[in-house]
Amino acid sequence: MRIGLVCPYQWDVPGGVQYHVRDLAVTLRGLGHHVEVLTPAEHEESLPEEHATWAGRAVPVPYNGSMASLQLGPVSASRVRRWLREGHFDVVHVHEPATPSVSLVVCMIATGPVVATHHAATIRSKWLAAVGPLIRPWLEKISGRIAVSDFARRVQVEHLGGDAVIIPNGVHVAAFAEGPSLPGHARGVGGPTIGFLGRYDEPRKGLPVLLEAMRSVVRQHPGARLLIAGRGDPDAVRELLDEDLAPHVSLLGELTEGEKGAFLRSVDLYCAPNLLGESFGIVLIEAMAAGAPIVASDLDAFARVLEDGAAGVLVRRGDSAALARALSDLLTDPDRRARLAATGREVAAGYDWQVVARRVLAVYETVVLPGAGGVTAADDEELAAVTDDGAWPSPLWRVRR
């Protein structure tokens, strides 16, 4: 099968959607399919040399509590048209089609089987509330919809209409389960280590809540350490540390994919104190695959991944005292940590990319009809359906069944 994947966010900026598209592409190729990726990026040379097409640069804009990539206009449309024409795809798979980026442009221009995956979990999206009714004619061209979680599905249904099958994010389980620890750090050696991974300059990631909890943890466990990895301003974090807590906190900066696996294999506990805006929680699966017991805030998405507490400890979001108790209790109970780690590995196996990719392929097969001509770009007459006076597309823009 010839498959076109569309990433709406800048490829050279780390993010969950980018990783999802990259790993899905690698897995599908491993299963024998031809896969091409279309994506914006700050620098064209940051893209893989093969099977990736540069959609141009994009302007970052706030979206879903993070930053999305704004990319609309005639240049983007021209590149999309050429990519569709030269790709001869049996199916095109766009991610976050409602964002103001190349995914929406593909929905505007493509004719033929289009599948979409929805990742966002914003309860109230000003963008979707404002433009949802306007872009719906283009989104009606989507013939197969996927959501990475029930929460993401709810957002899609409420704002954009239609329904979606739930297929979660995937993880290369073996890559996290096996390998070395971080130099100088090893699980079970020395004082207990708690890990945090994320963009620590984003309030929704909850790092200040964890730092407050750590003040209580180190009083009960004087040898405890917190390892913080990710992007952000280290000076802003240091300002939150008093002289008693500072010796127990290490800032590791941004990690490579290989280093991330080593990081998760090194910690005695992994903590996810996130406050909002999470549709899934891929890092929880990665941590479970690496054998790290988890303490996480009780977000709906996290509760589903952790099977309502069977595979990890859930605490009320934003409650630093409850978080401190949960961390301290687990640090004093190695048997419970071992049980959670074993359950977590079993749960993580169900999210392996080999499993997830086959479920995605099943969706492709439902929308690709035998004898169909595949995906092409709309011709000039169809593009003219959007008139100067703001009229919306003619029925020619809708899915051709």
Q: 0.85 exceeded by the pTM?
A: no
200 and 217 inside one domain:
yes
Position 151 in a domain: yes
Task: Check whether 217 has a pLDDT greater than 60.
Answer: yes
Please state the φ and ψ torsions of residue 29, each to the nearest 5 degrees.
Answer: -65, -40
| Tokens matching residue 11 | 């490829």
Least confident range from 138-147, 237-246, 290-299, 364-373: namely 364-373
Q: What is the pLDDT of residue 396?
A: 27
Q: What is the pLDDT of residue 325?
A: 98
Q: What is the pLDDT of residue 58?
A: 72
Q: At how many degrees (to 10) do helices 334-349 and 320-331 cross? A: 100
287 and 369 inside one domain:
no
Residue numbers of the domain that contains 328: 173-349
Instruction: Find the length of the chain.
Output: 401
Count up the domains in the chain and report the number: 2
Looking at residue 271, which CATH number applies to its domain?
Answer: 3.40.50.2000
Position 325 in a domain: yes
- Rounded CA gap, 355 and 280, in Å? 17
Q: Which residues contact 104 (CB under 8 A, 6 or more apart)?
A: 8, 72, 97, 98, 135, 138
Q: What is the pLDDT of residue 392?
A: 32
163 and 198 inside one domain:
no
Position 331 in a domain: yes
319 and 360 inside one domain:
no
| Tokens matching residue 313 | 């400890």
Position 285 in a domain: yes
Q: What is the pLDDT of residues 280-327, one digit of tens each?
A: 889 999 999 999 999 999 998 899 999 999 999 999 999 999 999 999
Position 396 in a domain: no
Q: What is the pLDDT of residue 15?
A: 82
- Rounded CA gap, 380 and 214, in Å? 61
User: Which of the two residues, 276 and 279, has the higher pLDDT score?
Assistant: 276
137 and 187 inside one domain:
no
What mean pLDDT value characterizes the chain?
86
Task: Check whether 158 has a pLDDT greater than 80.
Answer: no
Strands 294-297 and 269-272, sheet pairing: parallel
Task: Check whether 371 has a pLDDT greater than 70.
Answer: no
Least confident range from 105-109, 157-161, 175-179, 343-347: namely 157-161
189 and 158 inside one domain:
no
The three-state secondary structure class of 143 is coil
The answer to whether the beta carbons of residues 369 and 361 sit under 8 Å apart is: no
Q: What is the pLDDT of residues 54-100, one digit of tens each?
A: 988 776 665 555 555 565 566 778 899 999 999 999 999 999 988 88
151 and 257 inside one domain:
no
In angstroms, the Cα distances linking 90 to 20, 84, 95, 361, 382 are 21, 10, 17, 12, 21
DSSP letters, 45-100, are GGS-SSSEEE----EEEEETTEEEEE--SHHHHHHHHHHHHHH--SEEEEESTTST
Q: What percent of the chain has pLDDT over 90?
A: 61
Per-residue pLDDT band for 336 (boundaries 50, 70, 90) equals: very high
Position 398 in a domain: no
Q: Catalogue the long-range contacts made by 57-60 (C-beta closer than 8 Å, 24 or more residues apart).
A: 57/10, 58/9, 58/10, 58/101, 58/102, 60/10
Position 149 in a domain: yes
Position 342 in a domain: yes
Q: What is the pLDDT of residue 145?
A: 93
- Rounded CA gap, 25 and 4, in Å? 9
Q: How much is the average pLDDT of 255-275?
A: 96
- Rounded CA gap, 311 and 332, in Å? 18
Q: What is the pLDDT of residues 390-399, one digit of tens each?
A: 333 332 222 3
- Rounded CA gap, 133 and 160, in Å? 7
158 and 189 inside one domain:
no
136 and 63 inside one domain:
yes
Q: What is the pLDDT of residue 388?
A: 35
Task: Check whether 400 has a pLDDT greater than 60.
Answer: no
- Rounded CA gap, 149 and 166, in Å? 6
- Torsion, CA 229, CA 230, CA 235, CA 238, rounded to 10: -30
Q: What is the pLDDT of residue 398?
A: 29
Q: How much is the average pLDDT of 14-28?
A: 92
263 and 281 inside one domain:
yes
160 and 213 inside one domain:
no
| Tokens matching residue 167 | 């297929």
268 and 336 inside one domain:
yes
